[in-house]
């Protein structure tokens, strides 16, 4: 299973209505401070974010992928929205 698949699986607990993950690792290969793990951009839409601040949403996502952050993820950029926020745009 790929890291993208691992991330998607870990985030299923949030019951996402949309989830997209871009593997951006190739652009960051070998930069200082990267001791392993890839760089990923996450777009996730879930009712779980309703009433949460941006910081709380990020903390929720990071709590779900914590094990992966220890080994497979070096950096994760997060865009977390509710279905209502997506329909307004």
pLDDT of 46 reads 98
pLDDT of 14 reads 98
State pTM to two decimals.
0.87
pLDDT of 78 reads 98
| Lookup: tokens for 52 | 């949460």
Distance (Å, rounded) from C-alpha 73 to C-alpha 89?
Answer: 30
Per the DSSP assignment, residues forming a β-bridge with 40 are 23, 76
pLDDT of 33 reads 56
Mean pLDDT per 10-residue segment, the chain (89 residues): 94 98 77 70 98 98 95 93 90
Distance (Å, rounded) from C-alpha 2 to C-alpha 70?
Answer: 16
Q: What single-letter DSSP state applies at residue 34?
A: -
SS3 33: coil
């Amino acid at each position: 299973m790929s890291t993208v698949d691992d991330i998607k699986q870990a985030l299923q607990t949030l019951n996402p209505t949309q989830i997209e993950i871009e593997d951006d690792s190739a652009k960051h290969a070998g930069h200082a401070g990267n001791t392993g793990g890839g760089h990923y951009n996450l777009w996730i839409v879930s009712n779980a974010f309703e009433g949460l601040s941006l910081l709380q949403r990020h903390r929720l996502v990071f709590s779900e992928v914590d094990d992966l952050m220890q080994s497979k993820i070096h950096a994760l950029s997060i865009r977390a929205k509710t279905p209502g926020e997506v329909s307004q745009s």
